[in-house]
Amino acid sequence: MSEGWIQASERALEQIKKMCERKDMDRLELVQSMRFILMALHRSLLGWMNWVNNPDIMVAFTKDELAEMNKRLAEFVQEFIKYDIEVTKQGARKSSMSLEARREAEERARREPGETFYI
């Protein structure tokens, strides 16, 4: 089981490296790349959750090993969440601008050229 998991993870890493080395990706390819990367992260997280929820596996690690895992996971998860917040704020700004532009376009389309608008 573990050997197959490791081999699949190594293949995922190779694919991610190849995608990141490409210089000529269009928008769709970039989105596909992000999807693949996030699915690889999701797969890894599911594996971690299976391990952490299994006392038979976790008992095999020393307290120092568990402390190191906890420290490393906390470090990169904090960085990931900070980046998530940053991108979410950026997306929210873009979304609100897009909604406002759409509302304005719909309002213009409703009015005919000679129509007068009264309040």
Domain boundaries of the chain, sorted by first residue: 1-60, 61-112
Using CA atoms, how far apart are residues 79 and 88, in angstroms rounded to an integer?
A: 14
Q: Is the pLDDT of residue 105 over 80?
A: no
Q: Which of 34, 45, 39 is nearest to 76 (CA)?
A: 45
Query: What is the phi/psi pair of residue 60, to 5°?
Result: -75, -15
Which carries the bigger pLDDT value, residue 85 or residue 112?
85
pTM for the predicted model, two decimal places: 0.75
16 near 36, Cβ under 8 Å? yes
What is the pLDDT, as a whole number, of residue 23?
92
The predicted-structure confidence for 22-60, as pLDDT tens digits, reads as follows 999 999 999 999 999 999 999 999 999 999 999 999 999
